[in-house]
Amino acid sequence: MTRVWKWNRPVTVREVLEDLQRERSIAYTTVMTVLDNLHQKGWVRREAEGRAYRYEAVSTRAAYAAALMNDAWSQSDNPAAALVAFFGMMSEEQRQALRDAMRIAQGPQAAESHETPARATEERGENPHGKTGRNPDEKADEKADENPGRNPDGIVAENPASAEGDSGR
């Protein structure tokens, strides 16, 4: 699939074979069998071109990754904890990509319709945190520091590495 996604166009067995042979020795029939198996499983569609087929991905690599994440998340008995653990594994670049994706997914109308009272107050030039100027979320941050492994909403974030060997739970 990596080779089919790489070109982002219909490809022949010969094209995939030649690309793979730059890295290792592989038989034409092996590539043909794998592409046929991918077709049988619904991952690629194919169209006859002379005596050969052109294979094209049914979905994008991003859609495939999203489906894998959704499947893994839906199998969790505690989806919120799974998300907290997943976010904890992310690099800063990945978290920024997540923020960007959320903005895109919500769209401009969603951003306007989900405007928080604090944001509306800020846009009017007022202090959204009352007379003290203190952000109410700072209290939640302090409580989170007092209770490691528990976020302000009470969701317990387990460390998957320590959960395996911890029989005292």
pLDDT along the chain (169 residues), means of 10: 92 96 96 96 94 94 90 90 92 93 83 50 46 42 41 40 39
Question: Smallest Cα–Cα separation from 160: which of 71, 64, 78, 68?
Answer: 78
Compute the distance between CA of residue 5 and CA of residue 17 in angstroms, rounded to an integer: 15
Q: Which residues contact 139 (CB under 8 A, 6 or more apart)?
A: none
Confirm if 29 and 81 have CB atoms less than 8 A apart: no
pTM over 0.85: no
Cβ-contact 36, 53 below 8 angstroms = no
